[in-house]
Amino acid sequence: MRIFDGLSKFLLVLSIAWAAHGSVWAWGSAGHMAVGHLADQLIPDNSHAKAQINAILGANGTLRDAAIWPDCAKYIQPKQGFIYKPDPKYYDKSCTIYDATEEGKTEMRDYVRRNNDNCEYSGERSNCHKSFHFADIPIQENHYDPKFVGAQNYDVVHAINAMIAVLQGHPAPAPFNIPNNAQGKREALRLLTHFVGDIHQPLHVGSVYLKPNGQMVDPDKTGYDPQTNTVGGNSLVYGSNDANELHGEWDHVSTALAGADLVSNAEKVGATSGPLQGWIEIWATESVQQARKAYEGINFGPSHPGNHANSLVWPVTFKVRKDYLTSEHEMQREQVIKAGRRLAQVLQVIWP
Ligand SMILES: [Zn+2]
């Protein structure tokens, strides 16, 4: 069960780690675009769903482009009057489709302003929208449950369900603040497209919690200690000077996938069982199980202070690096294919 004591400390640790990583690109723009592009191809041109997508995004709008918008919006700076200001070190130039015009920047600003302090994230009421992209379920659980440590009512599962509700014409459930108008629908479709990608990145849902000596703990059993939080693998590092982060490695999907023809593989992905309301938790459960596999073949070393103030990192080593990378790339491809197919399926259920 969730331990509420120490929640703010938990959030503080998150804050340090996430702030340290600047703009975190789950799946990178390449992975998200691949997911959106697959759904663009899978939804028939003459379908109701495609007509709705075109009505919301405009005739030239694609899910491929929609997929990256929520990460571009992370460049909005709440503490600097909500200006749009990417850190050049982390800027992804795919965002030029949104930041080239004042209207584009205004739309991102509006969304962030409404979803900035509506939940407590990172120990403070700011940047709430950045927390919509993930959950940190301990991999020992083997499934997603909203009561587990690492689940929140603003995590990626809740975010996807909220965006589905908006696209179905219902008000966004709290804490999500998405208006029921054309702009809100556009936000919801972009967010849904992006988050369906995120929920299929295993390290965005399943996480490991480690003692200082690198031994794994289950915070749902032992009680939550913020010092054990690896922040979805952002605090797991390897290479000289701890230069590489495991989470970042998993986010990085080959750009070749974005343009690749994955359609025939995606068509083999069956529908998720049961009604739409239960699908998202099923996908999250699957990702927790995939995360468990993603953490196989890794040894966790004892923690030491990281390169960023007040952060702890655990150096990891790979039992057989080459084998690990092969499995990782296979799983990334499989997850992108599933995400694209499932995005298309969700949209066709919303607009049959
Ligand atoms: Zn994301």
**Which domains occur in the chain, in start order?**
7-350 (1.10.575.10)
Model confidence over 140-152: pLDDT tens digits? 999 999 999 999 9
Model confidence over 54-84: pLDDT tens digits? 999 998 899 999 999 999 999 999 999 999 9
List, in sequence order, every residue forming a beta bridge with 300; answer none if it has no partner: 316
Question: Of 43, 37, 71, 61, which is closest to residue 257 (Cα–Cα)?
Answer: 37
Here the tokens at position 139 are: 């991999």
Here the tokens at position 247 are: 């989470």
Cα-to-centroid distance, 275 and ligand 1 (Å): 25
Cα-to-centroid distance, 349 and ligand 1 (Å): 23
Helix (H), strand (E), coil (C) string for 270-302:
CCCCCCHHHHHHHHHHHHHHHHHHHCCCEEECC
Instruction: Please report, in tens digits, the pLDDT of each residue of the chain (352 residues total).
Output: 333 333 333 343 443 333 333 334 446 788 999 999 999 999 999 999 999 999 999 988 999 999 999 999 999 999 999 999 999 988 999 999 999 999 999 999 999 999 999 998 877 898 999 999 999 999 999 999 999 999 999 999 999 999 999 999 999 999 999 999 999 999 999 999 999 999 999 999 999 999 999 999 999 999 999 899 999 999 999 999 999 999 999 998 887 776 667 898 999 999 899 999 999 999 999 999 999 999 999 999 999 998 877 789 999 999 999 999 999 999 999 999 999 999 999 999 999 9
Cα-to-centroid distance, 46 and ligand 1 (Å): 30
Cα-to-centroid distance, 176 and ligand 1 (Å): 16
**What's the pLDDT at 311?**
83
Here the tokens at position 193 are: 């497209």
Residue 258 to residue 38: CA distance in whole angstroms: 9
> What does R_g of the chain's alpha carbons equal in angstroms?
19
Cα-to-centroid distance, 339 and ligand 1 (Å): 13
Cα-to-centroid distance, 213 and ligand 1 (Å): 30
For ion ligand 1, residues whose CB falls within 5 Å: 26, 133, 198
Residue 33 to residue 93: CA distance in whole angstroms: 13
Residue 25 to residue 348: CA distance in whole angstroms: 27
Q: How far apart, in Å, are the Cα atoms of 249 and each of 28, 154, 202, 236, 245?
A: 10, 25, 12, 11, 6
CB atoms within 10 A of CB 161: 18
Question: Is 0.85 topped by the overall pTM?
Answer: yes
Cα-to-centroid distance, 207 and ligand 1 (Å): 16
**What's the pLDDT at 27?**
65
Residue 237 to residue 223: CA distance in whole angstroms: 25
DSSP state of 180: S
